[in-house]
């Protein structure tokens, strides 16, 4: 198992990216370099199980994936546990977000000591969520201000995910 929060697995023209654990800034350059090294691809599948973490890194990944989506790469996210905080923002870059009913998404405003930076990152979060959901910026700002936990069904209802999917079983697992 890698000693970092991400893992890449390329299968032909599909790049699977696994984001698991706390997103930190120590490996952010490695993530972006690895992503660049795997391009071009036709599709990126993000498998997310992360409590979030470093906001700078989350925003950088969101921006890179959004750029690739605009360039024609199909980006699909699957929430396979939790997508919280900056991990939820990363998911917002996807063209399609799938979540199992028993998985979770959590949003909140960025936090920190520098009020100016917190305000700038809050604006970035609001823009990302508003663009993805079509909801007004005021509505999204209120959602972030209050913090919001949701299961899969609520995430779909809130327009933060597109579809409920069945949990994925690994080979040999039983329900």
Does the model's pTM come out above 0.95?
A: no
The pLDDT tens digits of the residues spanning 36-80 come to 999 999 999 999 999 999 999 999 999 999 999 999 999 999 999
Question: Is residue 133 assigned to a domain?
Answer: yes
Q: Is residue 171 part of a domain?
A: no
- With respect to residue 172, please indicate whether it lies within any of the assigned structural domains: no
- 90 touches 19 (CB < 8 A): yes
Specify the CATH number for the domain of residue 29.
3.90.226.10
CB atoms within 10 A of CB 37: 9
68: which 2 tokens? 């690739």
Q: Are 60 and 30 in contact (CB under 8 A)?
A: no
Q: Is residue 60 part of a domain?
A: yes
- Provide the domain count of the chain: 1
Split at pLDDT 50, 70, 90, the class of 173 is low
Phi, psi of 132 (to 5 degrees): -75, -40
Nearest to 21 by CA among 64, 76, 84: 84
Q: Summarize pLDDT for 132-158 with one digit per residue, the tens.
A: 999 999 999 999 998 889 999 999 999
């Amino acid at each position: 198992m890698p000693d970092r929060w991400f893992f890449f697995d390329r299968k032909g023209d599909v790049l699977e990216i696994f984001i698991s654990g706390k997103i930190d800034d120590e490996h952010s350059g490695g993530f972006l370099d690895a992503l660049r090294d795997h391009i071009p691809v036709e599709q990126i599948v993000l498998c997310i199980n992360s409590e979030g973490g470093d906001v700078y890194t989350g925003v950088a990944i969101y921006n890179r994936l959004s750029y690739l989506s605009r360039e024609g790469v199909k980006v699909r996210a699957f929430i396979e546990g939790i997508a919280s905080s900056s991990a939820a923002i990363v998911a917002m870059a996807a063209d399609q977000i799938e979540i199992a009913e028993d998985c979770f998404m959590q949003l909140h405003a960025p936090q920190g000591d520098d009020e100016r930076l917190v305000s700038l990152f809050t604006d970035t979060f609001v823009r990302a969520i508003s663009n993805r959901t079509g909801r007004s910026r005021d509505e999204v700002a209120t959602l972030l201000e209050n913090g919001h936990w949701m299961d899969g069904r609520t995430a779909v209802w809130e327009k933060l995910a597109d579809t409920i999917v069945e949990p994925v079983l690994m080979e040999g697992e039983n329900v």
